A and B are shown apart, each in its own frame.
Chain A
Amino acid sequence: MTVPIYPRHDETFVLNLGPQHPATHGVLRVKLTMDGEYIVKAEPVLGYIHRMHEKMAEAGTFAQFMPNTARMDYLHALAFNHGWALVVEKAAGIEVPPRAEYIRVITVELNRIHSHLLWWAANLLDLGAFTPLLYAFDDREQVIDLLERVTGSRLTYCYMRFGGVLNDIDEEFISGTRAFLVRLRERIPVFYHDLVTHNIILIKRIKDIGIITPEMCQRYGVTGPVARGSGINYDVRKDEPYSVYPEFDFDVPVYDECDSMARYMVRVDEMEQSMRIIEQALDALPDGPIMAKVPKMLKPEAGYYYSAVETARGSLGNRLVCNGDKNPYKLKIRSPTFSNLSLFGEVTQGMLLADALAFLGSLDLVIPEIDR
């Protein structure tokens, strides 16, 4: 009788990654069919933190849904605030005072820097580098303190209101923000680029790994830094200008390499662009009210409305259907990483498991935003 000691070459096995795995940053499960170290088929399994926000939206009034928006993408919560505020303002025909829009942009961009810093730290941690996390969290802490000052919360903000924002920003916030920008500008070349970006180990891990072609971006509806790492020059802030973004001079970093390194570079470069926007907004900050006169109970006209904003992860869409009532009749939240993750199966086919995890990190997933 012969018993094979090693599995035959054509034998595959199923490996369960997650839902409680440190590299998935939240409760994402991936069902992997493996042939040795190589992936034959990868199937993301979603829904472990599904809370049915869309049903909650229908159950309450428009204003009551604002706190929910921050609990989807907890890393760029202000952009979700912004998207919801914009679609309801569109539906109800509310004009926002300029000062409020400036404050929105300043806080959203600060929040974007915070999100990219955390992604940077977590992605490197996945790749086995622990030290960068400490540098990034040091900087991130400054942003959180600044935002806590104006919004009252550290992560799940409920700062925006229909017609404006909750609190005005003060001198201390402005000087603190300027000081933070100076500090981060000094640190990025040293702690971010010299220590990490030019590091040969990092380059070996993420260069030419996880190729996403522009054609795939179009087919899967990929947006955000993932698309911009594939040579697609699409940023909602530029291409479908909203709020006061057209007033600022900033670039959209685009890299053509289509690999994880390109996505890494896009995000690091975007922090500099966000800093430019914040600087210009602080310089040109107009005086005036921070809230428009808005009725307590909103009853937008019946119809179909859509708003798109650029979050740190891509294009966030709010599809709102109103029937003239005080509750939203239907709200669909198009979260960017839901579409961005859907190509995971196709890209990882035939990939080494270790590379797939490096690729997963480069997608910058926030699971509560996928599961909603």
Chain B
Amino acid sequence: MERYEKTRAALDPLFPSNHEQEAVVVEPSDAEPSPQVRLPGVVVTEYDRTGSHLDVLCLPEQVVAVGQVLEEEGFFLESIAGVDWLQQGQLEVIYDFNLLGGDQCRVMVRTFIDRNEPVVPTLTGIFSAADWHERETFDFYGVHFQGHPDLTRILLPEDADFHPLLKDFAP
């Protein structure tokens, strides 16, 4: 069994097929990005084309559970990125996971949150790497990582009152 299949099997129990909560999520599409509905779950993606093996879409409250499973599977947290979908009024947080040698398996975990109330639980309890990466995402997008021990500015000045990577930010 390929490593990504094993990882997928480990993640699947988090996403029962009879999921009643429907998440309205944004898929970037040509010209006018329009919100599309996709249920939370694990999708296998073409590595040669996208650079990741698995695309995991989850609800914000599932982030910690997904991180826990990936930690048990031996993954490390490579990076956290924010994306501002201004027209849809949503922010996206992308977590990239990878293995330190051995098999090849890259996992992209994404979650969508309300742009006006951007709250995601923190992963610092599982991965120490999340500390600085979450601070950076807070710095640039204003995403509030609930439970982070020290959610302060990291790259911008400590007295900055703006989040520069938001699409409606103008200096």
A, B co-complexed: yes
Q: How close is A10's CB to chain B, nearest CB, in angstroms?
A: 24
Map CB proximity to B onto A218-231 as digits: 1 under 8 Å, 0 otherwise. Answer: 11110100010000
Contact: B28 with A321, CB < 8 Å?
Answer: yes
Nearest chain-B residue to A301 (Cβ)? B30
Flag whether A90 is at the interface (Cβ < 8 A): yes
- Cα distance A90–B51 in the bound complex, in angstroms: 8
- Choose among B132, B156, B164 the residue that contacts A338 (Cβ–Cβ < 8 A): B132
- Cα distance A303–B28 in the bound complex, in angstroms: 6
- Cα distance A133–B170 in the bound complex, in angstroms: 45
Contact: B28 with A324, CB < 8 Å?
Answer: yes
- Choose among B79, B100, B110, B156 the residue that contacts A47 (Cβ–Cβ < 8 A): B156
Binds B, one of A163-171, A205-213, A268-276, A327-335: A327-335
- Cα distance A235–B101 in the bound complex, in angstroms: 7
Contact: A47 with B154, CB < 8 Å?
Answer: yes
Give B114-153 interface residues, CB cut-off 8 Å to A: 127-129, 131-133, 140, 153
Say whether, besides A47-B157, A304-B94, A304-B108, A342 and B129 are in contact (CB < 8 Å).
Answer: yes
Contact: A319 with B79, CB < 8 Å?
Answer: yes
- Cα distance A88–B146 in the bound complex, in angstroms: 34
Q: How large is the interface on A (under 10, 10 to 19, 20 to 34, 35 or more residues)?
A: 35 or more
Q: How close is A84's CB to chain B, nearest CB, in angstroms?
A: 13
Question: In the complex, how many residues of chain B place their beta carbon closer than 8 angstroms to a beta carbon of chain A?
Answer: 46
Flag whether B1 is at the interface (Cβ < 8 A): no
- Cα distance A248–B49 in the bound complex, in angstroms: 23
Give A249-300 interface residues, CB cut-off 8 Å to B: none
- Cα distance A223–B28 in the bound complex, in angstroms: 31
User: Which residues in A have their C-beta under 8 angstroms from that of B140?
Assistant: 54
Contact: A321 with B83, CB < 8 Å?
Answer: yes
- Choose among A87, A323, A334 the residue that contacts B79 (Cβ–Cβ < 8 A): A334
Flag whether B76 is at the interface (Cβ < 8 A): yes
Flag whether A302 is at the interface (Cβ < 8 A): yes
Which of A50, A233, A308, A319 gathers most chain B CB within 10 Å?
A319
Q: How close is B111's CB to chain A, nearest CB, in angstroms?
A: 13
Say whether, besides A46-B154, A304-B52, A342-B129, A221 and B28 are in contact (CB < 8 Å).
Answer: no
Nearest chain-B residue to A241 (Cβ)? B104
User: Which residues in B have their C-beta under 8 angstroms from that of A233?
Assistant: 101
Flag whether B8 is at the interface (Cβ < 8 A): no
Q: How close is B13's CB to chain A, nearest CB, in angstroms?
A: 23
Flag whether B50 is at the interface (Cβ < 8 A): yes
Nearest chain-B residue to A342 (Cβ)? B132
User: Which residues in B have their C-beta under 8 angstroms from that of A306?
Assistant: 50-52, 96, 106, 108
Give A6-53 interface residues, CB cut-off 8 Å to B: 46-47, 50, 52
- Cα distance A338–B99 in the bound complex, in angstroms: 18
Contact: B155 with A47, CB < 8 Å?
Answer: yes
Contact: A324 with B31, CB < 8 Å?
Answer: yes
- Choose among A50, A55, A87 the residue that contacts B51 (Cβ–Cβ < 8 A): A87
Say whether, besides A47-B155, A55-B164, A302 and B28 are in contact (CB < 8 Å).
Answer: yes
User: Which residues in B have their C-beta under 8 angstroms from that of A317?
Assistant: 78-79, 96
- A→B interface (CB under 8 Å): 46-47, 50, 52, 54-55, 58, 87, 90, 216-221, 223, 227, 232-235, 239-240, 301-308, 315, 317, 319, 321-324, 329-330, 332, 334, 338-339, 342-343, 346, 371-372
Q: 4 smallest A-B Cβ distances: which pairs? A: A306-B51, A332-B81, A234-B101, A334-B79
